[in-house]
Amino acid sequence: MTRISVRPVLALVLAATLTTLATGCSSLADELEREADPARASQAADDAPAPAPSVPDPDDLEIEPSAAHSATDCGAESLRATASLVDAAMGLRAMSITFTNCGTSTYEVNGYPAVTVLDADREPVAIEVLKGTDGISTGLRNTKPTAIRLQPGESVLTTLTWRNTVTDATRPAPHGTYFDIAPAPGRGSHVVQPADGGPIDIGSTAQLGTSAWEKAPADPGGTGPEPTTPN
């Protein structure tokens, strides 16, 4: 009869049991740790590599148009030109353009501005520019020309008026985008557009009225007062 030693068998069984217990304990310990510290799972997720950022299709990008500028830099003859919004009432349009002395010496203006209406390509638009605004509307303030001496930082303004009504269907109504304006004929000019971007919708009368330069009240914004239109 063959005698089998039980010691090696018991050793093998004991080793397998210990391994199983160690594995189970490790899994149990991990589970208990997760229950006690839920942040551990999120931390492990944070340690994972981040997905590559997606690159938008250029065709899906929306590009906003540039905002319309209503003021120029301190340029020609040390003046800065600023255009206001267009005030509209029953077909009548009115807006102001202000010149501010941004230089260091006194600047003198007198009379009416020199104005040319330009289209989107900055080409002149064929209209008649009037001295005074009575030809457009008698309800607007129309000052008389006077000599004004501007100290540095002081401003003058003129009011431009027109009507957008079409009274002659056979005559195309001119439209502009910019004003080319100078303190007087022969002086340096500035190109501005209405603060709201326009358009300058002059009707079939094709006339633009200009008021004489007048001293603008002190204004931190340098835009001067808004023109008034009749009710």
- What are the residue boundaries of the structural domains of the chain, listed by start? 6-49, 76-215
Q: Quick one: pLDDT band at residue 189, thresholds 50, 70, 90? A: very high
The arithmetic mean of pLDDT across residues 36-47, rounded, is: 50
Q: Rounded to the nearest 10 degrees, how much is the dihedral formed by the CA atoms of 45, 50, 53, 54?
A: -60
* Per-residue pLDDT reduced to its tens digit, 132-184: 999 998 877 778 899 999 999 999 999 999 999 888 778 778 889 999 999 99
Please state, as a whole number, how many other Cβ atoms lie within 10 Å of the Cβ of residue 142. 18
The arithmetic mean of pLDDT across residues 207-227, rounded, is: 72
Residues in Cβ contact with 149 at an 8 Å cutoff, skipping those fewer than 6 apart: 106, 107, 108
Task: Give the per-residue pLDDT at 44.
Answer: 47
Task: Give the per-residue pLDDT at 198.
Answer: 74
CATH fold label, 76-215: Immunoglobulin-like (2.60.40)
Residue pair 102/74 in contact by the 8 Å Cβ criterion: yes
* pTM as predicted: 0.64
Query: Residue 26 pLDDT more than 50?
Result: no
Query: Residue 47 pLDDT more than 90?
Result: no
Calculate the average pLDDT of the chain. 74
Q: Quick one: pLDDT band at residue 199, thresholds 50, 70, 90? A: confident
